[in-house]
Amino acid sequence: MAAEMIIDMTKTFAGRTPIQARIRYAVEASTVLILFGPSGSGKTTVLRSVAGLEWPEDGIIQFLSRTWLNTRSGVRVSPQDRQIGYMPQDYALFPTYSVAGNIGYGLGALPSHDRSKRIAEVVELFQLQGFETAKPRELSGGQQQRVALARAIAPRPQLLLLDEPLSALDAPTRFQLRAELRTLLKQLALPSIIVTHDWAEALTLGDVMAVMGEGQVHQVGKPHEVFSRPADADVARIVGVETVVQGRVIENANGLATVAVNGVKLKGLSSDAIGTAVYVCIRAEDVVVEQAGSGMTSARNHLMGRVSEIAPQGVMVQVTIDCGFPLTATITRGAMEDLCLVPGASVIAAIKAGAVHLVPRSAG
Amino acid sequence: MNWTAIWLTFKLASLTAGILLVVGLPIAYWLTFSKWRWKFIVESVVALPLVLPPTVLGFYILVAIGPHSPVGRLYTDMVGHPLPFTFEGLLLASVLYSLPFAVQPFAAAFDQVDRRLIEASWTLGVSNVVTFFKLIVPLSLAGLLTGVVLSFAHTLGEFGVVLMVGGNIEGETRTISIDIYDEVQALNYAGAAETALLLLAVSYGVLLLVYAMNRKVWAVWPQK
């Protein structure tokens, strides 16, 4: 049997749409599953059920060879016995304990010497030296996040569960910690499940992604595939980024980076160094479609292409343009008629540099 | 002043508060964290001494531990004398009478402990019992102290239950409040005033301590 995670559960909260999740994926040393969706979609409930903090009324949760929940055969493994590391959204650091006390809290079974050794090890890994005796409230948001993560991994869990790990931080810290978290997860070689509603986090951190909306799992797949090929309109609406393609930074001048995507050059805002592999993410509503041969605009990117597909979506139309890579644009029905768009028509797609989002991806 | 009665009363109050700390913690824990739908039945039973006349409570305790009840017979067989009108009987009655004064502040304090902290403890592999002592108790210290102090103070001043269950035996069951009553009956107002003042001072001091210590966890007044 392949090493895998099976989640197949139904959980109902009174007066709410039942949460029905069916996710199954292969687990390797450091596989990261992203539970992606808007608030209220049930992603946190799924994570909490995996942690053993919610009890689905029906279903199976199985991690590798261990069954944690099977309502039919009455298996209910307590959170204490699951060997997990769990980090809730607000960190839930123990206010009466110091940083070292928090980190060592789950190490009660170790002899005192091993315990101190492990605390020192984890403190160093998370660069918390000098803060050992500080209380959580004396720390900055970023430091608190590191302590919470350190506490979760100190007892050497088999699976790491992170609920919106970066959402409580301000934007610059979040950006920096996103990259650090990715490195850390790979370094720990620890499978994890991360709940997020931020697509940049999903792309940066995820190996597998499950898109949730209104209590249902809509699609499970590799993050960039889910973004660029949503299974249905619901997924497209939830993820909100229609074009995700791989590229590489080839030039960078004062934060205005030039990225090559299949030989096409695009300008986007990024401080990533030359040579960085990135995902280029463009929302369909940020793409302006012009007739070929029209004049100058302020947009930095003008891509020649041909219309490959036209899909009506209510009053809007989703146009896919092949400009070296498939680019999706959302325009009104009226605009489509004025531009005489038909499959095969030559057009220019204009995108402002600020709408070209570059998310670093690992080489692997 | 009747120092025997004073000593006896403080011994009774201290033992009652001590026993309530041990007995009250698991009851309060259960009341706070149980999801049993009929929990309110137990909650009401625990709160009953707050509203019941002490004589009624005392009467039932007297009957329950008397020589005609199974409990009373068992006690008599084991110890050799019946439970009513002894210090031990009085202690049992005091514990029941002051139960809500300990359990309610305990439960209120437990209730204020963030559930997410408790869950975090569980996911770190720490059992419910260890979580209770390592996490919940340190976070509820003020409430626990409030409960102990209030049950102590409440026992100091009890009268009706003492009279019903303990009677008025010098050195065994005569407490300060009974002594004051006796003094007044004997028209010894000066003696009564002395003892009453002592009780007033101690009770006020104890409440001062509770309020100064923590105004958030539990109060006689509604929470703001």
A22-31: pLDDT as tens digits: 999 999 888 9
- Residue A355 — left, alpha, or beta (φ > 0 → left; ψ -120 to 50 → alpha)? alpha
| Closest to A174 (Cα-Cα) out of A202, A127, A142 | A142
What is the distance between the alpha carbons of residues A127 and A122, in angstroms, rounded to a whole number?
A: 8
Q: Cα B145 to the chain's mean position, in Å?
A: 13
CB of A297 closer than 8 Å to CB of A350: yes
Distance, CA of B26 to CA of B31 (rounded, Å): 8
Residue with tokens 């009624």: B56
Q: DSSP letters along A171-197, please?
A: HHHHHHHHHHHHHHHHHHT--EEEEES
Nearest CA-CA distance, residue A19 and chain B, Å: 21
**Is residue B133 within 8 angstroms of chain A, CB to CB?**
no
Smallest CA–CA distance from B137 into chain A, residue? A96
The CA distance from A267 to A265, in Å, is: 7
pLDDT at position B76, please? 86
Q: Which amino acid is at A319?
A: V
What local confidence, expressed as pLDDT, does residue A363 receive?
47
**Closest residue to B125, CB basis, from A94, A95, A106:** A106
Nearest to A96 among B124, B127, B139 (CB): B139
3-state secondary structure of A313: strand
Torsion region of A169: left, alpha or beta (phi above 0 gives left; psi -120 to 50 gives alpha): beta
Percent of chain A with pLDDT over 70: 97
Mean predicted lDDT score pLDDT of chain B: 89
Give the whole-number percent of chain B exceeding pLDDT 70.
95
CA gap A35, A164 in Å, rounded: 10
From B117, B134, B139, residue closest to A92, measured CB to CB: B117
Spatial CA neighbour of B140 closest among B214, B220, B212: B214
* Angle (nearest 5°) at CA B75 between B163 and B84: 10
Place of tokens 């059992």: B127
Average of per-residue pLDDT across A23-46: 92
Q: Which residue stretches of chain A are H helix?
A: 43-51, 99-104, 112-125, 141-153, 171-188, 199-205, 223-228, 233-239, 333-338
**CB B63 within 8 Å of CB B57:** no
Pairwise CA distance, residues A249 & A257, whole Å:
7
Of the pLDDT bands very low, low, confident and very high (cuts 50, 70, 90), residue A337 is confident
Residues of chain A neighbouring B125 (CB-CB closer than 8 A): 80-81, 83, 106, 109, 155
Among candidate residues A350, A5, A359, A295, the one with its CA nearest the CA of residue A159: A5
d(CA A37, CA B126): 31
Phi-psi domain of A248 (left: phi exceeds 0; alpha: psi -120 through 50; beta: other): beta
Nearest-neighbour CA in chain B from A89: distance (Å): 10
Is the predicted pLDDT of residue B222 greater than 70, yes or no?
Answer: no
State how far residue A100 is from chain B, nearest Cα, in angstroms.
15
Name the one residue in this structure whose structure tokens are 């008629």: A337
For range A201-218, the mean pLDDT = 92
pLDDT digits (tens, 9 = 90+) for A172-199: 888 888 888 888 888 888 999 999 998 8
Residue type for position B37:
R
Question: In this structure, are strands A75-76 and A84-87 parallel, antiparallel, or unpaired?
Answer: unpaired
Label residue B77 by pLDDT band (50, 70, 90).
Answer: confident
Interface test with B, best of A49, A89, A94, A137 (most B CBs within 10 A): A94
Counting residues of chain A whose pLDDT is more than 90, the rounded percentage is 51
Range of weakest confidence among A61-65, A232-236, B99-103: A232-236
A315 vs B123, more confident: B123
Contact present, A206 and A31 (Cβ < 8 Å): no
pLDDT of residue B221: 46
pLDDT above 90 (res A357): no
A86 contacts B116? CB cut-off 8 A? no
How far out from the chain centre does Cα B34 lie?
23
Cβ–Cβ < 8 Å for A277, A293: no
pLDDT of residue A111: 93
Calculate the average pLDDT of chain A: 89
B137 at A interface, C-beta within 8 A: no
CB B151 within 8 A of CB B17: yes
Interface test with A, best of B117, B124, B127, B133 (most A CBs within 10 A): B124
Q: For residue range A116-154, list pLDDT tens digits in order.
A: 999 999 999 999 999 999 999 999 988 999 999 999 999
Q: Do B122 and A84 touch (CB under 8 A)?
A: no
Report, as an integer, the average pLDDT of B5-21.
94
Query: What is the pLDDT confidence band of residue A294, given thresholds at 50, 70 and 90?
Result: low
From the list B116, B124, B127, the residue facing A155 with the nearest CB is B124
> A53: nearest CA in chain B?
B119
A94 and B125: CB-CB below 8 Å? no
pLDDT of residue B29: 95
CB atoms within 10 A of CB B17: 25
* pLDDT in the model for residue B218: 46
CA proximity to A94, closest of B116, B109, B217:
B116
**How close A348 comes to chain B (CA, Å)?**
53
Q: Is the pLDDT of residue B145 over 80?
A: yes
* B130 interfacial to chain A (CB closer than 8 Å): yes
Contact of B139 with chain A, judged by CB distance below 8 Å, is answered with yes
Answer yes or no: is pLDDT of A364 > 90. Answer: no
Query: Beta strands A4-11 and A346-351: pairing type?
Result: unpaired
Residue A9 corresponds to which amino acid? M
Q: What is the pLDDT of residues B22-31, one digit of tens each?
A: 999 999 999 9
Closest CB to B114 among A83, A92, A151: A92
Strand order across the A4-11 sheet:
A75-76, A66-70, A58-63, A4-11, A19-26, A216-221, A208-213, A32-36, A192-196, A159-163, A84-87
- Nearest-angstrom CA–CA distance, B38 and A91: 33
Least CB–CB distance from A155: residue in B114, B122, B125: B125
CA-to-CA distance for B65 and B86, rounded, in angstroms? 11
- The neighbour count for residue B134, using CB atoms within 10 Å, is 18
Quick: pLDDT tens for B160-205: 888 888 888 888 888 988 999 999 999 999 989 999 999 999 989 9
